[in-house]
Amino acid sequence: MKGLKISLVSLVLLLCISGYALGQNSPPIITNVWLDVDYYEYDWCDEYAIIKGRVEAYDPDGDYIYYTWYVNGVEVEWSDTLWYRVWYEGWYDVCVKVEDEYGHSTWWGPRSIRVDFDWWCGGCEISSRPGALGALALVGGMFLPILRRFNLRKRCF
């Protein structure tokens, strides 16, 4: 009788422990992240850049997952792809958080990516980009920017 009670208690404990272990939820797993910068010209001597990214992830438990992209600590996109337009050159820190429906999350980053515009413009036009410093010198019929825009390097968090 005593052996039966010990066996029964052992069985209940084993079932409780295995049930607890099976009930654990795992965070999503990030398998691949891709980042790149594309440059576009929208007006004579004016350009902008697009920081593009893509994340591939899955949840081992099969839970639905959500994506949040951060650039310099600010939420900017809520999908598995990033498409972020920038007007100023400098360093941009990119992070992505992948979270399941139960709040378990996995982070990737920060990864610093450099945006560097080509400022050598010909002709007689001055940049109309908002926030331009506008200090230009005329050298041989070509405007050369003297002061360049900059962005302070920041971390995601």
Across 8-17, 37-46, 84-93, 138-147, least confident range: 138-147
Residue 101's pLDDT band, with cuts at 50, 70 and 90, is very high
For range 53-76, the mean pLDDT: 97
**DSSP conformation class of 16:** H
Q: pLDDT tens-digit profile of 9-53?
A: 555 555 555 444 456 899 999 999 999 999 888 776 678 999 999
**DSSP conformation class of 121:** B
Residue 68 burial (C-beta neighbours within 10 Å; 0-12, 13-18, 19+): middle
Query: Which uninterrupted H or E stretch holds 92?
Result: strand 90-100
Looking at residue 123, its pLDDT comes to 42
Residue 126's pLDDT band, with cuts at 50, 70 and 90, is very low
Task: Indicate if the pLDDT at residue 73 is higher than 90.
Answer: yes
Phi first, then psi: what are they for 12, rounded to 5°? -65, -45
Looking at residue 40, its pLDDT comes to 87
Mean pLDDT of the chain: 75
**Domain 25-117, classified CATH 2.60.40.10, yes or no:** yes
